Structure 1
Amino acid sequence: MQEISRRGVGRLGLGVGLGAAALAFNRCGGQDGSPGGAGGPGGMARPIGDGSTAYTGRQPRQPEPPTALEPGETPPQFVVFSWDGAGEVGTGLFARFLELARAHDAHMTFFLSGLYLLPEAKKRLYRPPNNPVGASEIGYLTDAHLKDTLKYVRQAWLDGHEIGTHFNGHFCDGPGSVADWTPAQWRSEIEQARTFVKSWRTNTGWHDEPPLPFDYDRELVGGRTPCLLGQENLLPAARELGWRYDASSPGGVQRWPRRLRGVWDLPLQSIPFPGHDFEVLSMDYNILANQSKNSTKAPSYNYGYWRAQATQAYLAGFDRAYESNRAPLFIGNHFEEWNGGIYMDATEEALRQFAGRRDVRLVSFRQFVDWLDAQDPDVLARLRSLRVGERPEGGWDTFLRAS
């Protein structure tokens, strides 16, 4: 499940890297995701379609509604941790990071791959653009792992996290690559991803499992494409569907974001890479690609140094923004134990250190764009004028004070 841009390293070419420049809540199930409990304003969950999903009222554990910055107020330091695929494959990583988030009052975005809720026995229901029926570069989950994924996606939403999409088959190479899909083909891929999430009961036959406690048509407001490819043709489909953001740009910098074709463009970012004179994209796989040349099982004697280097990269990116333009920091991950799980350890350590800092908000992409949409456009324009690492002239009190 590689997430690497054409400006990154590995099989998609060179560029960045390798030498280139609380709370009571209604719910449809117990707090551990088990059946039971009432949801919705009327006290009961309202099934949608075949009952794979259900409307259970407003999402619990959300921050207070955002307000506009006051004149001269210092912007918060936003950090968004996101997870591509968001499938549980027996490693316990999904549960680990849900627990970590609860411990630090953090929210995240889980980009769920639609195929992770489609059993392999029903794979011919998937018709990927420019690829054979049922094809997938990431495979299908076992029934046991599919049930675990349902459990943790259910719990993630109840804990206040966002459920976005990582689409379906993860095609990055060859004539079927997502890089070449048309807007209409992206629309087909999105509709299929939504259908697999909304119809897992029918497709699995598991009618005793509790539903996912949300209306996915309303919940889904953004995603990230496989390998950060195809954004140009995705955006028309995303805008037509009313999406609010896209996190698929092939590499950005630490500056305040802008809209692209009416959709907030929230790219992974180039961050300092300790020990090197180039920067690395803010995702676990891109750090791995620079450390072990794409090997996910490199010799273990490297792990201690690489773990510390990955942690320091995240901290360096954070510190640069925190002490200067306060641009949001976006960090992408996978539930993978690559190179002994060092990238999971680095992510956990970074989150723990971020959480204790003043003005820091660990949010989902959806929560972040809620804040953006609540701001004065002129204030956002002022924020966007700050370059990477640039401090506001005269300090925030002067820089953002109304004239």
Structure 2
Amino acid sequence: MRRLAPGERPPQFVLFSFDGVGVSPNWDLFLRTAERSNARFTALMTGLYFLTDDARRQYRGPGHRPGEAAIGFGGTKAEVVQQIHYLNRTWFGGHELGTHYVGHFCRGDRYPGERWSTRDWNHELDQFFALMQNWRRNTGILHGPDLAFPRTVVKGGRTQCLEGAPGTLFPALMAHGMTWDSSQPAEVTGLAWPKKVRGIWEFAIPYAYSPPLKRAQTALDFNFWVSVNGAKNIPGDAIRLRRIVKETYHYMYDRAYAGNRAPLVIANHFNEWNGNAFNPATADFMADVCGRAETLCITHVDLVAWLELQDPAVLGALSRAPLSAVDGRR
């Protein structure tokens, strides 16, 4: 890792991240694919999965009763131990562990994240770290491996449903020693360099041109699903969805590589939505690009370290370069 010289082109960074990371064959898929392609990714942990269903009352989300959550908890003791095993495999594989928070309270809930104050976000993060640190005590689990990494490795994350404004969320991140976020939808069409906002590096979810859709698209797996068939479970549509996602990612990569070299933010879930339409496309893209020249598939915390190392004038020049993947021509 070194400083760029003025006018030197940076590597093409690609940031893969996965929201929630519950145990799934897709977790194995990405661990294998990353190892084969020299890629590293960021796994965003859900605090609920550190609790058995029986221990659910150990969590109390902002404005909610103990044991309430919008998604499921960690299941049985055996399932929580399996979750710990996968988290350890991910850590030992050289990947980053971040947070996807806990309760997954989104718009439509009586008190969703979009309404939370800084005090609420502080409470949610306090809960996340307590659940992570005290998972054995909370669940009574005495067997299986310990968690292989401390809470201090968690330096960023993505909120549920991309909710939470910088003015309320980022002070809570700072208070917990965190350095990055990837919860904000992009403010512009096209691929741009990340910015530091209120002391936090923001890796926005891209809104970029998709050739198969012939328009700009939020580059998040669930949003692709909504755009293509209204998020209806139509497994027969899986092949078409895979093609759309993969072609869009490749277009984003090609345009950024030839253009401003803005880091690609590839946000995904392990969920098998619509016949598992999205994970194979993302894994194929990882395998296709991560071994290419001048391309680095790294973690968010690594890119933060690289950004902090650079001359601010050099970063300023990169941020002023024309955006990539704005339309079908550039």
- Using the size of structure 2 for normalisation, the TM-score is 0.93
Q: Which has the larger radius of gyration?
A: 1
% identical aligned pairs: 34
- In structure 1, the partner of 2:69 is 136
**Distance between the aligned counterparts of 1:116 and 1:223, measured in 2?**
16
Aligned counterpart for 2:57 among listed residues 109, 116, 124: 124
- In structure 2, the partner of 1:288 is 225
1:346 alignment partner AA: A
**Distance between the aligned counterparts of 1:79 and 1:191, measured in 2?**
30
Measure how far apart 1:337 and its partner are. 1.0
Q: Does the alignment pair 1:279 with 2:216?
A: yes
Aligned counterpart for 1:346 among listed residues 256, 281, 303: 281
Q: Does the alignment pair 1:149 with 2:83?
A: yes
Aligned counterpart for 1:172 among listed residues 106, 115, 122: 106
**Distance between the aligned counterparts of 2:144 and 2:112, measured in 1?**
35
Aligned counterpart for 1:230 among listed residues 150, 164, 182: 164
Q: Does the alignment pair 1:298 with 2:231?
A: no
Deviations 1:133-173 (A, max 9, x none): 21111111222432221111111111111110000010002
Is 2:213–2:244's contact at 8 Å kept on the other side of the alignment?
Answer: no
**Distance between the aligned counterparts of 2:20 and 2:212, measured in 1?**
31
- In structure 1, the partner of 2:328 is none
Measure how far apart 1:279 and its partner are. 1.1
Aligned counterpart for 2:30 among listed residues 97, 100, 107: 97
Measure how far apart 1:240 and its partner are. 2.0
Q: Does the alignment pair 1:250 with 2:185?
A: yes
2:229 alignment partner AA: S
Measure how far apart 1:299 and its partner are. 4.8
Is 1:229–1:250's contact at 8 Å kept on the other side of the alignment?
Answer: no
Greater Cα shift, 141-150 or 108-117: 141-150
**Distance between the aligned counterparts of 2:59 and 2:322, measured in 1?**
44
Q: Does the alignment pair 1:113 with 2:46?
A: yes
Deviations 1:198-224 (A, max 9, x none): 1111122222322112111x1111111
Indicate the SS of the match to 2:278: helix
Please show how residues 255-334 of structure 1 align to structure 2 within 5 Å: 255-295=192-232, 297-300=233-236, 302-334=237-269
- In structure 1, the partner of 2:311 is 376
Is 1:271–1:316's contact at 8 Å kept on the other side of the alignment?
Answer: no
1:157 alignment partner AA: W
2:268 alignment partner AA: N
Please show how residues 22-37 of structure 1 align to structure 2 within 5 Å: none
2:155 alignment partner AA: V
**Distance between the aligned counterparts of 1:370 and 1:268, measured in 2?**
20
Measure how far apart 1:389 and its partner are. 2.3
Is 2:51–2:75's contact at 8 Å kept on the other side of the alignment?
Answer: no
Structure 1: 5+ residue stretches without partners: 1-65, 391-403
**Distance between the aligned counterparts of 2:287 and 2:95, measured in 1?**
18
1:208 alignment partner AA: H
Indicate the SS of the match to 1:145: helix
- Using the size of structure 1 for normalisation, the TM-score is 0.77
Is 1:310–1:346's contact at 8 Å kept on the other side of the alignment?
Answer: yes
Runs of 4+ with >6 A deviation: none
**Distance between the aligned counterparts of 1:282 and 1:380, measured in 2?**
24
1:360 alignment partner AA: T
**Distance between the aligned counterparts of 1:275 and 1:368, measured in 2?**
30
Measure how far apart 1:75 and its partner are. 0.4
Aligned length: 320
Is 1:166–1:225's contact at 8 Å kept on the other side of the alignment?
Answer: yes
1:168 alignment partner AA: V
Indicate the SS of the match to 2:9: coil
Q: Does the alignment pair 1:192 with 2:127?
A: yes
Indicate the SS of the match to 1:84: strand
Is 2:212–2:248's contact at 8 Å kept on the other side of the alignment?
Answer: no
Structure 2: 5+ residue stretches without partners: 326-330
Deviations 1:306-339 (A, max 9, x none): 2111110111111111110000000111111111
Distance change (3 Å), C-alpha of 1:361 and 1:240: same
Deviations 1:243-293 (A, max 9, x none): 111111123541111111011011110122223332111211111111120
**Distance between the aligned counterparts of 1:124 and 1:85, measured in 2?**
20
Greater Cα shift, 331-340 or 244-253: 244-253
